[in-house]
Amino acid sequence: MLGRPSALATLALIGAMGIAAPALPQGASAPCRLCKSVEPTESKPTTPVTLDVEASLNFDRLILAGAGDGSATLSPDGSRTVAGSISAIGARAMVGEVTVRGEPGRIVRVGLPARIELYGLAGGSIRLESIQSDLPPMPRLDSNGRLSFRFGGILRITGDLDGEFRGDVPIDVEYF
């Protein structure tokens, strides 16, 4: 075993060396370290978390090559790909951008949905799936209490739908 020995190995080592615990006076009991209330290392945040949408996720126009299944991907870095019956994504398509504000230096948890339904005025619907962001694994507010990130996803269509489709991407943010 390399590195620090485990707690069990350390206790076994102390027992083998013959070190005994100090004796307590008769009738006295050892203080219970498990009974103490443990104070969190970080205090409760005093500043509430806020979220500002800087730019909405927008696929602009999709150009269909015919009827059938297709997908359009807009990645957080702005790259675009199409597959199936979709031949192109409009030039004004843009990723979503959000700024989180709160207490400087705090770690936050950001929750994005796995998928959402977008509904058209004519009654049809399409799916936005695989919503991903460019957030680091443990997002932290900077020294000014800000964190900006971008997000995108895969838009899947079936058939030859036409029209404008809208929906909301619920984003949950809380202190970790």
Q: What CATH number should be reported for the domain whose range is 50-175?
A: 2.60.40
Query: Which has the higher per-residue pLDDT, 44 or 174?
Result: 174
18-76: pLDDT as tens digits: 334 444 455 555 566 556 555 555 578 888 999 999 999 999 999 888 878 899 999 99
Is pLDDT above 90 for 171?
A: yes
**Top-confidence residue, 45 or 134:** 134
DSSP assignment string, the chain: --SSPPHHHHHHHHHHHT--PPPPPTT-----SSSSPPPPSSPPPSSPPEEEEEE--B---EEESSSS-EEEEE-TTS-EEEEETEEEE-TT-B-EEEEEE-STT-BEEEE--SEEEEEETTS-EEEEEEEEE---SS-B--TTSEEEEEEEEEEEE-S---S-EE-----EEEE-
How confident is the model at residue 15, as a pLDDT? 35
CA distance 86 to 66: 8
pLDDT in tens, 90-127: 999 999 999 999 999 999 999 999 999 999 888 788 99
Say whether pLDDT at 80 is over 90: yes
Please report the pLDDT score of residue 100 as a whole number: 97
